A and B are shown apart, each in its own frame.
Chain A
């Protein structure tokens, strides 16, 4: 999607498809559309952070929590219109992303993973520490209703699906702009070779922090959407499992790829539901039945990563290349190895 008009065009087409689908499908499917849209919003930011700027984060669920709780508190105490709430939630999360990014600017690889993992575990526990403000274990309820102009009989789930999908599509378009901009190029340069990038005049620390800010903003936005869609923010919704699921979705879809964010989100939302359906429809006992989806999900993760090392998007590209010939965009520049042994 190299040009803005093309991106907008695709976004509009997808939006139309979503609207039509949401009308045809039942409430549960609408809810799933909303769920997928929430995940896409968060995963898209994460896939840029990890895939494009090369910084692993196991704690983006914490930024979702920040966005979600901000939204819940705003709606509860200030009753702002939801668009303003979404924007502010994203902004607050973005600011915290800046703090985290700055603190983590010197961390690499597993050390960054460890720090963000701990962030993802620790942040939600703030809700337990401040139950008065943050609702403790029970969390905070979020009221969200369909706007008047849609009429009294318009299903809430469909409206939630529309809002979420719209937010996801806008996010994707904005991120695509970033992807192809100088900022995106700087991120890739920093990821591939920090020293070379610095010599080229790229401010490495600033680029890395900006990546965190962007991914946190997306996650915060997604968290606010989640609050609206589920009607509740509680620590149990933002566990470390969520952070890990986001990273998993990004990798499975194809790290650094925005379409990949969609594929990955589809996998993490639909596969567990599908497997649970199969298990319960076969009448398996509850402990076995509720754990088969868990085990199956694990198998899916392993298999996809082994079969498609570049993720689903990479796999699709390879399949496409079989028909159309190699894609010049994906050919890595060929240079002989220059490792310790030298080259002759």
Chain B
């Protein structure tokens, strides 16, 4: 196992900007992946601009979820490269990818319902190196001591107030929007460089969906997170994205900046349904 995947995530939590001049934070090259006899991704290449929001769109079965899974390590790619800050990490398992700075928020049930809100959040910090050692803070002011973890939790509660109110409650008692908040808060606690969001607005009321989308925008603008956003709701995704990629049957059929894509009526009708 090379050391690349195990180095501490150099996350943007302390406000440091995106690494300059090192290429995109996440670049996917000719990725081929599938399940059993089915090939769901057939040579996909995507470049996710650093500190930008890249929307991945397409109909059901186009390969969007498989793409995220192949990047985060839940599915082992058959061919291709996944470059995180220039290092190829394709084929690493999820535990390693998180430590490399790639956090994946999967579609659907993202909270562990049997645990409390606070416990769900603490799980987000499980990828921090150092475990329970009471070491002094590191050079970025973020040591891995108990105090640092507590500080990180406080920061999360500060940003996501509703979670603070329910911290001792079981996650199963949260509403849909609150669960999504919890899931994103947990992913952020891993201090990722890249955040993969799979249909974060699924099943949410329109008003909540807007809040979630606003949150996503903030994460990219204020924290410099590189975000890959998979969404069925192409309209709202393109409204907040910088760049858009359209998948169909496992291939990239369009890749352009979001405004151009949104304006391309024929493309929208054909692949995106609006």
Do the two chains touch directly in the complex (Cβ atoms below 8 Å apart)? yes
Q: Which residues of A contact B (CB under 8 A)?
A: 332, 334-337, 340-344
Question: A334–B61 Cα gap in the complex (Å)?
Answer: 15
Residues in B whose Cβ lies below 8 Å from that of A337: 35
Give the distance in Å from the alpha carbon of A336 to the alpha carbon of B63 in the complex.
Answer: 11
Contacting residues, chain B, for A336 (C-beta < 8 A): 34-36, 38, 40
Within 8 A of A (CB), among B37-76: 37-38, 40, 58, 60-66, 69, 74
Complex formed: what's the CA distance from A278 to B64 in Å? 60
Distance, CA A127 to CA B74, complexed state (A) = 55
B273 sits at the interface (CB 8 A): no
Contact A341 B37 (CB under 8 A): no
Q: Give the residues in chain A near B64, CB-CB below 8 Å.
A: 344
Query: B230's contact among A340, A343, A344, by CB below 8 Å, is which?
Result: A344
Query: Smallest Cβ distance from B273 to chain A, in angstroms?
Result: 14
Q: Which residues of A contact B109 (CB under 8 A)?
A: 340
Chain A residue with the shortest CB-CB distance to B74: A341
Interface positions of B from 224 to 253, Cβ below 8 Å from A: 230
Q: Is B143 an interface residue (CB 8 A)?
A: no
CB atoms of A342 and B65 under 8 A apart: yes
Contact A344 B106 (CB under 8 A): no
Within 8 Å of chain A (Cβ to Cβ): is B198? yes
Contact check, B61 vs A343: say whether CB atoms are below 8 A apart.
yes
How distant is B108 from chain A, measured CB to nearest CB, in Å?
Answer: 5
Contacts of A344 in B (CB 8 A): 58, 60-66, 107, 198, 230
Q: Are B66 and A334 in contact (CB under 8 A)?
A: no
Give the CA-CA distance A129 to B3 in the complex, in Å.
Answer: 67
Residues of B within 8 A of A332 (CB): 36
Minimum C-beta distance from B246 to chain A (A): 13
A-B pairs with beta carbons under 8 Å apart, 27 shown: A332-B36, A334-B35, A334-B37, A335-B38, A336-B34, A336-B40, A337-B35, A340-B106, A340-B109, A341-B69, A341-B74, A341-B106, A341-B107, A342-B65, A342-B107, A342-B108, A342-B199, A343-B60, A343-B65, A343-B66, A344-B58, A344-B60, A344-B61, A344-B62, A344-B63, A344-B65, A344-B198
Q: Report the minimum CB–CB distance from A344 to chain B (whole Å).
A: 3
**B249: shortest Cβ distance to chain A, in Å?**
12
Which residues of the partner chain A approach B62 to less than 8 Å between Cβ atoms? 344
Q: Which residues of B contact A335 (CB under 8 A)?
A: 36, 38
For A335, A340, A341, A344, which residue has the most chain B Cβ atoms within 10 angstroms? A344
Helix, strand, loop or mixed for chain A's interface?
Answer: loop
A332 to B107, CA, bound (A): 27
- Bound together, the chains give a CA A342 to CA B199 distance in angstroms of 10
A341 engages B108 (CB within 8 Å): yes
In the complex, A341→B104 CA distance in Å? 12
The residue in chain B whose Cβ has the minimal distance to the Cβ of A339 is: B108
Q: B35's closest neighbor in chain A, by CB?
A: A336
- Cβ–Cβ < 8 Å partners of A334 in chain B: 35-38
Q: What A residues does B61 contact at CB under 8 A?
A: 343-344
Bound Cα distance A246, B3 (Å): 50
For B120-151 the 0/1 string (1 means CB < 8 A from A) is 00000000000000000000000000000000
In this complex, what residue of B is CB-closest to A344? B65
Q: Please name the 10 residue pairs, one residue from A and one from B, whose CB atoms are nearest each other, closest first.
A: A344-B65, A344-B64, A334-B37, A334-B36, A341-B106, A342-B107, A336-B35, A340-B109, A336-B38, A341-B107
Instruction: Give the nearest-CB partner of B230 in chain A.
Output: A344
Q: Whole-angstrom distance between the alpha carbons of A344 and B106 in the complex?
A: 12
- Name the B residues within 8 Å of A342 (CB-CB): 65, 107-108, 199
CA distance A5 to B253 in the complex (A): 57
A329 to B173, CA, bound (A): 47
Given contact pairs A336-B40, A344-B230, enumerate 18 new A-B contacts (beta carbons under 8 Å). Answer: A334-B35, A334-B37, A335-B36, A335-B38, A340-B106, A340-B108, A341-B69, A341-B74, A342-B107, A342-B108, A343-B61, A343-B65, A344-B60, A344-B61, A344-B62, A344-B66, A344-B107, A344-B198
The complex places the Cα of A334 from the Cα of B40 at a distance, in Å, of 12
Nearest-neighbour CB distance to chain A for B26, whole angstroms, equals 18
Q: Output the least CB separation between A333 and chain B (Å).
A: 9
Alpha-carbon separation in the docked complex, A155 to B36 (Å): 57
Residues of A within 8 A of B198 (CB): 341, 344
Chain B residues, CB < 8 A from A341: 65, 69, 74, 106-108, 198
Least Cβ–Cβ distance between A256 and chain B, in angstroms: 21
> A14: shortest Cβ distance to chain B, in Å?
37
Q: How far is the CB of B102 from chain A (nearest CB, A)?
A: 16
Q: How far is the CA of A27 from the CA of B69 in the complex (A)?
A: 63
Q: Give the CA-CA distance A341 to B108 in the complex, in Å.
A: 6
- Contact residues of B between 168 and 197, Cβ < 8 Å to A: none
Q: With A and B bound together, what is the CA distance between A66 and B106 in angstroms?
A: 54
Instruction: Give the CA-CA distance A344 to B108 in the complex, in Å.
Output: 12
How far does the Cβ of A338 sit from chain B's closest Cβ, in whole Å?
10
- Shortest beta-carbon distance from A200 to chain B in Å: 24
Chain A min CB distance to B58 (Å): 8
Residue of B at shortest CB range from A331?
Answer: B37
Residues of B within 8 A of A340 (CB): 106, 108-109
**Complex: how many Å from CA A337 to CA B64?**
14
Interfacial chain A residues near B35, Cβ < 8 Å:
334, 336-337
